[in-house]
Amino acid sequence: MDISILNEQDYYRIVYGGWLGKNIGGTLGAPVEGRKELLELTFYPELPDGPLENDDLDMQLVWLHALEQYGPGLTSRELGQEWLEHIFFPYDEYGYALTNLRRGLIPPISGWFNNPFNDCMGSPIRSEIWAMAAPGAPDTAAHYAYQDAIVDHAGGEGVYGEMFFAALESAIFFEKDRDRLIEIGMNHIPEHCRTAKALKDLLRWQQEGKSWTETRLLILEHHGSDNFTDAPQNIAFTILGWLYGEDFEDAILKAVNCGYDTDCTAATLGAILGMLLGPEGLPDKWVKPVGERVVVSSPIKGFPAPKNLDELTRRTIRMGKQVLATWDTGILVHPDLPTSCRQEASEGADEAIKDLWDRKVTANRYLLPQGTRSCPDAELAIDFGSDGPAIGTGQWKTLHFTLTNRSPTPLAGSLSLELPEDWEGPNAYKVSLQPGESVQWEVEVRASAVAAAYHELALYWTRIHDHSIWAAQKVAFTLVGASRWTLWGPESSVGKEIYVPGNRLEWERELGSQVDGVYRALSMLFSPSERKVRLIAAANGPITLKLNGQVVIECKETLAFMPAYHRAPQEQWVELTLTAGTHKVELEALRNGAPPEVYVLSVALKNTTTPGPNYFYTDMIWG
């Protein structure tokens, strides 16, 4: 393998420039986040204390800490654990992922199950840490980006957005041509995804001579979403600023003035241009107001955050050297030799990256023995099916287990399940596998009549040698309690009892009714203790919610559908004190041309003592 050299001073200036540009762009865009009109920003707001706090940078500080904790073998599993310990944001996909992680679900299930926001910008904004820790190695950067994104975006465009940016930014260490960098990024995402389609159209419109404002409108027309955080439109706006910008200032202003997720678009483009230009290439006008402070949001806590950009840069480089060596990249960071690339540029992503595009999001994957990073004895997949890891009281559920022999010798033993008390399930299943061979075990389990917020199960892989038990591997996993509801359509006299895997009610799917009129739902909400609750009925149309017979939510108009813990429409939530015990919840949703859809959520108030606002109450039971 030819060795490429990355001069250590070059490494420092590219990383520092990237973090500085991230701070600049995030500070510029944060105050206007969510505004959808064409903006006219020309500079920062007044900044008495330097840069503004921003989740675009905050979460990457946690990921740097994760790299330092777990090393280059870091996977989504460890990132999920870090999230539980240090990230308490309730925002959109962050809130849903945190809820799933707290209930014992792991990536990719944590990022896919019951998550209406997996197409959004929460992960594309976290790409720089992986690019900087894998400098000049786009495949490696894209691999880490995938591991990161599936924690809260599995199965959605957010995954592709982060892989795109991570590959592009990693390539900057040896490649400076803008069009080639965009091509490298696009090679690391599937052609059919919405993000790729938006980028292809953007490039074509720019080449056809459309103005930047004309192109902005075309992006919204063909790839836009009412949700201002939707990833494809915002990724396109980021690259629009780069394509049309005459210099650093003009580029980030064009990106931010497209509106929508402005802190994300400006911060990511600021990072890209900061990496290309280095700190010395960024205008003093933009650098001096933010300085080199690192500001951390209060819901990010419990770890040693860097105090300034110099510390952040040095810690990033320290981990990058380890990543380059572990992944056998053929890239050497050298204190004296000049930067030189002696490896041929790849025409596309590695096959291992393409394999990630099609990996099932309904299944958890384990290497055995657990803790193995490579060359495992066996690989286990647990597929929960399209309804995800949920089961109702007294209900049957099918689970699919696949065990593959990854060792060079035959494996023999048995698979068995450890179930909660009074559950029903299968007997042990004998297994004999040659190297490379797989076996599938499809089982049905039945929950007891005792309701619970979640249930702990385990699969045992028991190894046999010389007709005797040699060792057993226990793989614990979680099933959450499905919500029990009774539904009625406009023409129904008898309700239909159903179990909902998450928090989303869809009458048309369950009843098959397409008649306009009032649709009703009934459930019982159990709270184990008295607490203050924000009760949300986020709907795509008029909605009424009664609690114990009293109307507490009455929204008579059709509002933007926003099932977020912290930003559901104010007309669709109420804050109250819920006593311990069981409460009757009744819903009425009006269908007027479109199928009614409602997310019913019980979350904490904005002001909590600790750890953060509007978190989901995972111990409350619906049904």
pLDDT (tens digit per residue) in 233-284: 999 999 999 999 999 999 999 999 999 999 999 999 999 999 999 999 999 9
Beta bridge partners of 545: 553, 587
Mean pLDDT calculated for residue range 8-21: 98
Per the model's pLDDT, the better-predicted residue between 477 and 47 turns out to be 477
Confidence check: pLDDT of 49 > 90: no
Residue-wise pLDDT for 583-623, tens only, equals 999 999 999 999 999 999 999 999 988 888 999 999 999 99
Q: Are 423 and 393 in contact (CB under 8 A)?
A: no
pLDDT band at 373 (very low <50, low <70, confident <90, very high): confident
Neighbours of 442 (CB within 10 A): 12
Q: Which residues pair with 457 in a beta bridge?
A: 477
Q: What is the mean pLDDT of residues 349-364?
A: 94
CATH number at residue 388: 2.60.40.10
Beta strands in 110-170 (DSSP E): none
* Residue 420 and residue 314 in one domain: no
For residue 515, the tally of other CB atoms under 10 A from its CB is 11
Q: Indicate if the pLDDT at residue 229 is higher than 80.
A: yes
Residues 210, 38, 248: CA angle, nearest 5 degrees: 70
Greater confidence, 53 or 48? 53
| Cα–Cα distance measured from residue 489 to residue 477, given in angstroms and rounded to the nearest whole number | 36
Q: Region 33-42: what's the mean pLDDT? A: 97
| Residues 93 and 219 grouped into a single domain | yes
> Of the residues 354, 380, 398, which one is the last residue of a structural domain?
354
- The answer to whether residues 193 and 262 belong to one domain is yes
Mean pLDDT of all residues belonging to the chain: 96
CA dist 214 and 240 (Å) reads: 11
Residue that is last in its domain, among 477, 498, 519: 477
Interatomic CA distance for residues 458 and 477, integer angstroms: 6
Same domain for 392 and 258, yes or no, is no
CA distance linking residue 323 with residue 277, whole number of Å: 24
Q: State whether residue 202 is helix, strand or coil.
A: helix
Q: In whole angstroms, give the CA distance from residue 224 to residue 233.
A: 6
CATH number at residue 243: 1.10.4080.10
- Whether the ω angle into residue 435 lies within 30 degrees of 0, i.e. cis, is no
Q: What is the pLDDT of residue 325?
A: 96
DSSP-derived secondary structure letter, 125: G
pLDDT band, residue 2 (cuts 50/70/90): confident
Residues 77 and 226 placed together within one structural domain of the fold: yes
N- to C-terminal Cα distance for the chain? 61
What is the pLDDT, as a whole number, of residue 357? Answer: 96
Do 454 and 511 have their domain in common? no
What value does the mean pLDDT take over residues 283-296? 96
Q: Give yes or no: residues 264 and 311 share one domain.
A: yes
Q: Are residues 260 and 388 in the same domain?
A: no
Q: What is the pLDDT of residue 490?
A: 95
Residue 205: strand, helix, or coil: helix
pLDDT of the residue at 479? 98
Half-sphere exposure of 377 (CA within 13 A, CB side): 15
Chain segment 517-553, per-residue pLDDT in tens: 999 999 999 999 999 999 999 999 999 999 999 999 9
pLDDT at 120 > cutoff 90: yes
pLDDT in tens, 495-520: 999 999 999 999 999 999 999 999 99
Token duo for residue 488: 């009625």
Cβ(10)–Cβ(4) below 8 Å: no
One domain for residues 452 and 558: no
Q: Which residue has the higher pLDDT, 101 or 610?
A: 101
- Residue 2 labelled as part of a binding site: no
Which of 428, 448, 477 terminates a domain? The answer is 477
Residue 343 has pLDDT above 80, yes or no: no
pLDDT at 492: 87
Q: What is the pLDDT of residue 346?
A: 64
State which residues form the domain around 551.
483-622
Distance of CA 622 to the CA centre of its chain: 26
Please report, for the domain that includes residue 576, its CATH number.
Answer: 2.60.120.380
The predicted-structure confidence for 400-459, as pLDDT tens digits, reads as follows 999 999 999 999 999 999 999 999 999 999 999 999 999 999 999 999 999 999 999 999
* Same domain membership, residue 555 and residue 516: yes
What is the distance between the alpha carbons of residues 261 and 232, in angstroms, rounded to a whole number?
11
* Pair (490, 472) in one structural domain: no
SS3 call for 619: coil
261 annotated binding-site participant = yes
* pLDDT of 347 strictly over 70: no
Same domain, 226 and 329: yes
How many separate domains does the chain show? 3
